[in-house]
Amino acid sequence: MRRTIAVRTALSALLVLGVWAGAGLGPTSSSAAAVRGPSGPEPSAKLVGALRHDLGLSRSEAEERLRQESAAMRLEPKARRAAGKAFGGSWFDAGTGRLVVGVTDGKAAAAVRAMGAAARIVAHSARELDAVQAAIDERAERKAAPRGVSSWHVDARAGSVVVNVVRGAERDAAVRAFVEDAKREGPVTVRAAAGKAPSTFAAGTVGGDPYYTGNVRCSIGFSVHGGFVTAGHCGQPGASARGWDGSGIGNFQGSSFPGNDYAWVNVGQGWWTVPVVLGWGTVPDQLVRGSAEAPVGASICRSGSTTHWHCGTVLAKNETVNYSQGAVHQMTKTSVCAEPGDSGGSFISGDQAQGVTSGGWGNCGSGGETWYQPVNEILAVYGLRLHTA
């Protein structure tokens, strides 16, 4: 993204102390990633329009959904605490517009309802299902999962760990063996995954894009104080990063892939950061005001240097993604499309930073799914502080 695009007159008062790094978010410093609740003005008409286009909503439905999701993001941590050890996961129900919390007993259900969320009795707690997923992860560490297995995650609504198998690979001997081993660990459901095996979204060098490292083009995620966060597969520690104009931005200060897919890059002279995500003309550039986590079922949008701005919904959390380079853990899956060059770009819900684009399958012509690395984990790992408005 060109530096001249990002700083708008209307934002100047907010951005006096900012540092612009191109795709508009901001690096920071401090393991306490200060998660602020959703706030700010009513959503813009263009943001509402993007949700209408990508989610098939009317104007009033899109406006109401954004309000409901903002309320659900504020409520989720309180409802989780109220559920205690009986917590069985949570998700946003677009049909009712409410946060739903799974619980394993009636007492916890009453406590959750008292907080204002809906409660559903489930057979297994989140802790139990997390343990099943962790056991499957350990098996995959000892012996790599077959490429016909695309990912696995805890699904609170299904009350089990869901193993996603690429359609057509169900009868493969290695896939069947992996699934049978997984089922020995606890409640497991197998689903046929649409599309192909997942891959990352880095791309060869193309002119006019946010940043390059070597011959790879990726997208800036979010500004932190001192730099920006992005995808780990885009560069190794020490690698240099160049901006859209070829000038040096800085260097990869930390990077992890596979296992994780996150990195952060410092910014040097001539580059600075601001708490903004580029809307690419589809929507106004979006201010970043915090990083409260959106629940499963919530709408979410992505900004990237190849396909620009697209929206969808959060499909699953804490999913292990089986890339050809190795498994990546604790990812969030969405129905948003992406293409090569979008890697590292911003996932945002309302004005809340969610994560950086990792990979997926499909494209923005025929559709697909994507995974992102949650931003709060990146901030905590590197001791960064999100640059917010």
pLDDT at 209: 65
The active-site residue, picked from 343, 346, 349, 358, is 343
Amino acid identity, position 92: F
d(CA 320, CA 130): 12
The residue that leads in pLDDT, 228 or 204, is 228
Cα–Cα distances (Å) from 39 to 112, 265, 368, in that order, read 23, 28, 30
Does 261 participate in catalysis according to the annotation?
yes
Does 53 participate in catalysis according to the annotation?
no
Structural contact between residues 110 and 125, judged by C-beta atoms closer than 8 angstroms: no
The active-site residue, picked from 54, 209, 261, 351, is 261
Beta-bridge mates of residue 363: 367
Q: How does pLDDT run across 222-231, given as a tens digit for each residue?
A: 999 999 999 9
pLDDT at 204: 52
pLDDT at 339: 96
Q: What is the CA radius of gyration of the chain?
A: 20
Q: How does pLDDT run across 262-305, given as a tens digit for each residue?
A: 999 998 878 888 899 999 988 888 999 999 999 999 999 999 99
Domains of the chain: 126-193 (3.30.300.50)
Does 225 participate in catalysis according to the annotation?
no
